[in-house]
Structure 1
Amino acid sequence: MFNQLVLTGQVCKSPKFTTSPAGVIHGQFSIEHKSIQQEDGFNRNAYVRLHVVTCGEQQQQLIKNFIVGDEVQVSGFLNRHESKNGQAIIAIHAQHIERLN
């Protein structure tokens, strides 16, 4: 099975960090993507806001200075999470992040 996504967008929620009981640093932030896509010969406005999850000290060093409005490209795999009230959240688990500006 293949589960891979590459998305560019703007940071719309600044990074926050937690440390697991095993001592692993997890980061979370959100990006939003807006574009015009072609579908069956027609222009379609595309908009998505996606939760990004990172893991490890190297990723923390990369994203710790991200601020709202930064342009980024994130690649990784999609996974389902649940909010504290039980709502489903789709997140991209980042395997590569690049700041574009």
Structure 2
Amino acid sequence: MTTNHLALSGRVLRSRAFDSPAGIHHTVLQLEHKSLRVEADMQRHVYCVIQVILSGPRFDSVTEKLKAGVDIQVSGFIALQQNRNGQSRLVLHAENVELKN
């Protein structure tokens, strides 16, 4: 069995929604993460921006609240996504999203 699970908190930078040709509703977020971690007994500032994809009706109740500036915690699995230019990047496919106050 292989493991593929990522949990990350951060702030939504932007979001957009669309329906796929198959009729599945998707919301795509840019999530900005900032934290302070300890690595090799030293404090390290961590920063990343990752694309998060929410697919299907299970997220309908939360997607309209996911605007720029909203803090969330998201968990799911990561996958490689290739754009039209052939460039690849890791994206997080959400399985759970929680709004943070």
Give me the TM-score of the superposition, normalised by structure 1: 0.91
What secondary structure sits across from 1:69 in the alignment?
coil
> What is residue 26 of structure 2 aligned with on the other side?
26
- Deviation, 1:84, is 2.4
- Deviation, 1:85, is 1.7
Q: Residue type matched to 1:99 in 2?
A: L
Q: Residue type matched to 1:7 in 2?
A: L
Q: Percent identity?
A: 33
- Deviation, 1:58, is 2.6
Asked if the contact 1:27–1:60 (Cα under 8 Å) also holds between the matched residues in 2, the reply is no
Encode CA deviations 1:46-79: one digit per residue, 9 max, x unaligned. Answer: 0110100111123133122222111100000000
Q: Which runs of 5+ in 2 are unaligned?
A: none
> What is residue 38 of structure 2 aligned with on the other side?
38
Q: Residue type matched to 1:41 in 2?
A: D
Once superposed, which parts of structure 1, at least 4 consecutive aligned residues long, lie more than 4 Å away? none
Q: Which runs of 5+ in 1 are unaligned?
A: none
Alpha-carbon distance between aligned partners in 1 of 2:66 and 2:18, rounded to the nearest angstrom? 16
Alpha-carbon distance between aligned partners in 2 of 1:89 and 1:13, rounded to the nearest angstrom? 18
Trace 1:11-90 onto structure 2 (pairs within 5 A): 11-14=12-15, 16-90=16-90
Equivalences, count: 100
What secondary structure sits across from 2:81 in the alignment?
strand
Asked if the contact 1:6–1:75 (Cα under 8 Å) also holds between the matched residues in 2, the reply is yes
Give me the TM-score of the superposition, normalised by structure 2: 0.91
Asked if the contact 1:33–1:49 (Cα under 8 Å) also holds between the matched residues in 2, the reply is yes
